[in-house]
Structure 1
Amino acid sequence: MDASIQKKMNRRKAIASLLVLAGGTAAVYSGVRWRKLNTAPDLVKLQAHKDLITELAETIIPATDTPGAKAAGITPFIISLVTDCTPRREQNRFIEGLIEVDGYARAEYKRSFIKCSTEQREAVVAYFEKRDRPYKGLLGKVSKRIMGDSFFTIMKKYTVIGYCTSMKGATEGLAYDYVPGRYVGSVKLQPGQKCWATE
């Protein structure tokens, strides 16, 4: 057999072996990850990370001329939603995400997220928002079905729901009409108009 043909055959075998090895490694990793996400979550860690949840929520909805998430007191609401209303996989992803946020802040800035400056916190949140952005199309649907929502998706969603349904968020952060008048189907918004607190 010609030496060049032998080299090509050897190269193909080597590439095939590498692909099989990579596929096997990915399958093992996926299996371990799947098992980990489906174990009973350690919900006690939510209370241990209460201050971190508060500061993350405040970074997502900071105080400006209206109260932020911290002033609205939404941390117990977020913990309650994760504990009582979130599937097991997403509970594990959320707890895992809290640990990763603190680890990332320590690796980047040599301090915990809570002790970071506002700019550093915003950079950490931007990193996790980009990292946890859902895939588009069919891949996104399959990923959500199998793995559930990502950490930052859950954190952001629960922060917004908690803020918009809190007393301070609904009455000071949003436009709230306690006793609405007649129904008007189409209203022109004024410049700087706040969103309505009720639908």
Structure 2
Amino acid sequence: MNVWIYIFVLPALFITSSRAAPVSSPESPIAPYLLPGAPTFELTITQFREKFNKANPLLALKEFRAISSSGATANLTRAATKINENLYASTALERGTLKIKSIQITWLPIQGPGQKAAQEKAKSYMAALIRAFTPGLTVAQSQLNLGKLLSAGKKQGYYARSEGAVRYVVADNGENGLTLAVEPIKLALSETLKDNQ
């Protein structure tokens, strides 16, 4: 499998939704958690990278490079950076402002004696990504949150959980890769509250 194609196609699954039903399979092009008109974080990718690298000097991210896009993603710019041979970060940005709509860490599992160390490094980056958008968390708390997310999403293909104005998405494709995405969501009154007004 061409690793670069995988890392660029998977984030595309996170930015092409037009309805709000759950995804039935990892191959489905529908990602209901990033709907048209979804908000952005108040951070450009450059600001995010500087902040992330300052907070995580041992987990630095290199500069993100733009990826060409068309069709349904014409209002977005996609970009990615390679962390190592089996670990990548990618993002969907609002075109023009380059503010983040979705940011992901993707791990492509490897076999052999280096597997455990590679997996731990991937989890360190994923936990750091969680802390970047929930700054009050300690390292231990972010690792605990990550563990819960990965357990809930294991072998489901797609799993999402919202916490406040942030949504975490796990795309678990087994041996083909594991992605953690972080995205902003609009806060709204629940249907129950609306009905009672």
TM category (shorter chain) comes to: under 0.3
Which structure would you say has the larger RCO, counting Cα contacts within 8 Å and 6 or more residues apart? 1
| TM-score w.r.t. length of structure 2 | 0.28
Structure (1 or 2) with the greater strand fraction? 2
| TM-score w.r.t. length of structure 1 | 0.28
